[in-house]
Structure formats: C-alpha cells, structure tokens
Amino acid sequence: MRLILLGPPGAGKGTQALRLVDRYHIIQLSTGEMLRAAVKAETAIGLRAKDIMASGALVPDEVVVGIISDRIAEPDAEKGFILDGFPRTVPQAEALDALLKSHGLSLDAVVELRVNESALLHRVEKRVAQMSERGETVRLDDTPEVLSKRLASYRAQTEPLVHYYSERRKLLTIDGMMTIEEVTAEIQRVLDALQATEKKIAAKSSRRRAPAKTSVKASAKAVARQSAPAKPKTSQKSKTPKAAEKASKTAGRTKTAAKRPAKAKTAKKPAKQVVKNVTKRRTRLTKGR
C-alpha cells in the first residue's frame, strides 16, 4: 500500500503513520525526520535546510524531491510506504506523480487529517510542556510562534493539495479532532474498505483477462506439439486432442476460449504434411525393398 498523510503540523500525522506501519507492514517516510537527521549529521542538505526549518518555512522542492526519490528506490520501500510530510506543495505532488510513474507505481490513497487550527496551537503547547517535563529536547520549530508560521505556509502551499488529490479521486478526509484511537480506527476502516474494493476489482479484471491469456498459451503449446517433426502417428493423434482439450479446459470454458483453436487448426497443416511425407518415404522404402 502506498499512502500520503496530509495535514497541518501537529495534526497527528506522525502518530498515525506509526500505527499504519504496524498494521500494513509498510514503512514511514517522513521528510521532516530525514531533514532533521541531515541537520544533525551536518550533511550538505542538512546545512542548507537548518535555518529554513528553524524559521518554519519550507525547504526547496528540489531538495525534498531528491530525498524522496532516493528513498523510494530502496528495497524496503517495495512493499509500500506512508509519506508523512511530503508532498507539501503542488510541484512536489507533481514530481511525486512522475516519480511513481517512472517506477511503474501508483498511489492508493491520500489520508487528510482535518483539524481545527486553534486546537493545534493548544496541542503543541501541551506537547512542549510534556516533553520539557520528561527532560526531552524540544524541537526548535515546535514553539507557538514558529507553529503559526508553519500553519501559514501549510495554508498557502500545502492546502491546495486537498483539491489536487480530490480531483484525482485519491482523497480520504478524516476528522483529526477525534481521540488518537478513534482517528486510528477510522483510518483503518476506510483503508480496509479501500483494500477490499481494490482486491475485488483486481480479481474481476484478472478473471476477465485470464481466459484469453491461458488459451493463447495453451494454443501455442498445442501448435508447438502439432508442428513438432515426425513423431509416430499414434502419439500425434493421442496428443493433439489432449492439448486441445486442455486448452479449452484451462481457458475457463468461455466463448473466447472455444474460438481459440483456430490457431491450432492452421498449424495442423504442417503436422499433417510431415506425417504424409513420412508415410511417402516409408512407402518408397518398402517398394524399394
């Protein structure tokens, strides 16, 4: 499963992402965390992002797109992932579309956590107080002042993605004001329903596709057997109907399958010819004797 968690800072994306990781056995890709790791490690990207992040502004698109592009290509992302904090702008969303397309992948859903902004400020204040109590380091951008800036950039640059993904029929909006447990349950409910629908559609289309594929394959096998050179007449006779029977059986007993042996018919000619030639040769030999 490939998901995006969309929502303003403090909406609980990180918390919900961790729960989705457990449930769907996919990985969480948080650009915020990757950038913080880069800042800590003082890499070139980290040095570039440090002050921007501390001010509550967004890091340039090409930086985060580059990070995600590398990360998606890693083997642990094969089973699926949750993008947390990415994309944050329309150009990032477009870059992601292109990236997924180039890997032959698609998005399953974009889960939007809709929250009330004044409640977010209250949440952040509470979180900062709890972290300080536990003696944990508070993030530089986790202050009410910086949060106001981050909310402003969310409104201006990220909120347009709600429309972007709603137009592409990917958006699932969840009320992020419920308790953490309720939000988790609601996300799981909609995703499970989505998965069930996707499975049904996949099963239907594979049922529709399978007969044609199998019958073509089976007919091809029959053709190969029939045009195989000069096997004893008896084995030719006994094998051909079996192959045809197998072809029509494995073809799912559909009309298409019933029509398929046309290919096998055309291939009978060379097989018959081979048998004729063998018989002629045998006759000549007998006469010669």
CB of 115 to ligand AMP, least distance (A): 14
CB of 131 to ligand AMP, least distance (A): 14
CB of 127 to ligand AMP, least distance (A): 12
Round to whole Å and give the CA distance between 111 and 165: 10
How many other C-beta atoms are found inside a 10 Å radius of the C-beta of residue 52? Answer: 15
**Interaction of residue 6 with ligand AMP, rule CB under 6 A:** no
Q: Is 6 helix (H, G, I), strand (E, B) or coil?
A: strand
**Interaction of residue 31 with ligand AMP, rule CB under 6 A:** yes
Tell me how many residues contact ligand AMP (CB under 6 A).
16
Stretch that binds ligand AMP, among 57-65, 160-168, 238-246, 265-273 (CB under 6 A): 57-65
Contact 123, 9 (CB under 8 A): no
- Select from 20, 120, 150, 176 the one that contacts ligand AMP (CB under 6 A): 150
Distances (CA, A) of 152 to 149, 176, 223: 5, 19, 68
How many other C-beta atoms are found inside a 10 Å radius of the C-beta of residue 118? Answer: 8
Closer residue to ligand AMP, CB minimum distance, 136 or 192: 136
Round to whole Å and give the CA distance between 29 and 191: 18
Contact 45, 67 (CB under 8 A): yes
Closer residue to ligand AMP, CB minimum distance, 89 or 248: 89
- Select from 4, 6, 17, 35 the one that contacts ligand AMP (CB under 6 A): 35
Distance of CA 20 to the CA centre of its chain: 15
Contact 112, 162 (CB under 8 A): yes
Closer residue to ligand AMP, CB minimum distance, 2 or 221: 2
Q: Which residue has the tokens 């958006």?
A: 171
**Interaction of residue 184 with ligand AMP, rule CB under 6 A:** no
- Select from 7, 8, 12, 85 the one that contacts ligand AMP (CB under 6 A): 85
**Interaction of residue 32 with ligand AMP, rule CB under 6 A:** yes
CB of 202 to ligand AMP, least distance (A): 31
- Select from 1, 11, 113, 141 the one that contacts ligand AMP (CB under 6 A): 141
Which residues lie closer than 8 Å to 32 by C-beta, 6 or more apart? 84, 85
**Interaction of residue 112 with ligand AMP, rule CB under 6 A:** no
Round to whole Å and give the CA distance between 107 and 36: 26
Contact residues for ligand AMP (CB under 6 A)? 9, 31-32, 35, 52-53, 56, 58-59, 64, 85-86, 88, 92, 141, 150
